[in-house]
A and B are shown apart, each in its own frame.
Chain A
Amino acid sequence: MHIAAKPDNETARLAALYELLILDTPPEERFDRIAQFAASEFDMPIVLITLLDSERQWFKARIGTQVCETGRDISFCSHAILRDDTMVVEDALQDPRFADNPLVTGAPHIRFYAGAPLALPSGLRLGTLCLIDRRPRTLDTLDLGILGTLRDLAVMELVRTEENHDA
């Protein structure tokens, strides 16, 4: 299993995340609605809006799982926030970064993952909107466009949180 490196801007990234005062807050309909729409649109059993803390990934919205966080070292999203575009793992068992990951070999038995990074206007990527399935999948150009739009809607809500704190 490959553990993702931390981004070069990790200190600033964590500072921006903590400024939102969003970690460990209750579920909110505005984020749940986006995750629910994605689950229905893509027929995905698991959809998450994740935020990457220093040692964990915490779920602001979650469809299809009762778990509210996992270790950052085993998270797919820690890889996804290292890039601007959506990271797609069509079959985790065929990907040496993830084939022996405990989230693949054990529950929830991830085979497919697509994570669109939640980048603030500053460029800092705080987490992802991600789709997870227990079987290999692919996404076409339209799917990726729709996922990107739903990610943009989630970022708008994060920015709104930021603006409410500033007001």
Chain B
Amino acid sequence: MPDSHILLVEPEPMLRRTVVMTARSLGMSQVHEAASSDAALRMLRSRTFHGAVIAVDCIGRGADQQYDLGLIDRLRADDTPGKTMPIAIMAEQATAELLKALRDRNISRVILKPFRAKVLLETIEKFGASPRKP
């Protein structure tokens, strides 16, 4: 069994299950699934991960609309093992504000819609290929 553990935070059940089951059937990294940020935070308290693929939602309306990066901020906090963990973000579109916010949080991989299981699995494969010490 692979010894790298990747966290997948994705609310859509079909996409989430497809990625987790395919990773398992192909002997890739162990992918742990969370449907929400709250569920992800609980999992992050229970074990360490070598990478994460996280869907981020837009919150607010109109000009006040912005991506909710609360989970990322919690992961990147100084006292957490996730501080240096590689993270990929799934977002509807890449706005200049979002890209700047991601750069500030040391995130270099953005996956845009339409989200495909294959793209997520390729990302997980890369994260799992050279797991950093958590």
Contact = CB atoms under 8 A, between A and B. Distances in A.
A58 to B, nearest CB: 24
Instruction: Please classify the interface of chain A as helix (H, G, I), strand (E, B), loop, or mixed, using the class held by over half of its residues.
Output: helix
A150 B25 CA distance: 12
A40 B117 CA distance: 10
Enumerate the 3 nearest inter-chain pairs by beta-carbon distance, A residue then B residue, closest first: A149-B21, A149-B22, A145-B22
B30 to A, nearest CB: 15
Interface of B: 14-15, 17-18, 21-22, 25-26, 114, 116-118, 121-122
Contacts of B21: 149, 152-153
B128 to A, nearest CB: 13
Nearest to A148: B25
Contacts of B17: 149, 153
Contacts of A149: 17-18, 21-22, 25, 117
Instruction: Please classify the interface of chain B as helix (H, G, I), strand (E, B), loop, or mixed, using the class held by over half of its residues.
Output: helix
Given A146-B22, A153-B17, A153-B21, 7 more contacts: A37-B18, A40-B116, A141-B26, A142-B26, A145-B25, A146-B18, A153-B14
Contacts of B26: 141-142, 145
A143 B118 CA distance: 7
Contacts of A148: 22, 25
A2 interface: no
A92 to B, nearest CB: 24
Question: For the side of the interface on A, what is the size category?
Answer: 10 to 19
24 contacts: A33-B14, A34-B14, A37-B14, A37-B15, A37-B18, A40-B114, A40-B116, A141-B26, A142-B22, A142-B26, A142-B121, A142-B122, A145-B25, A145-B121, A146-B22, A146-B121, A148-B22, A149-B17, A149-B21, A149-B22, A149-B117, A150-B18, A152-B21, A153-B21
A150 B117 CA distance: 11
A41 interface: yes
A5 B133 CA distance: 55
Nearest to B13: A33
A149 B14 CA distance: 11
Contacts of B118: 41, 142-143, 146
Which of B15, B17, B22, B121 is the most central at the interface, judged by chain A CB atoms within 10 Å of its CB? B22
A153 B18 contact: yes
Interface string A142-162: 110110111011000000000
Contacts of B121: 142, 145-146
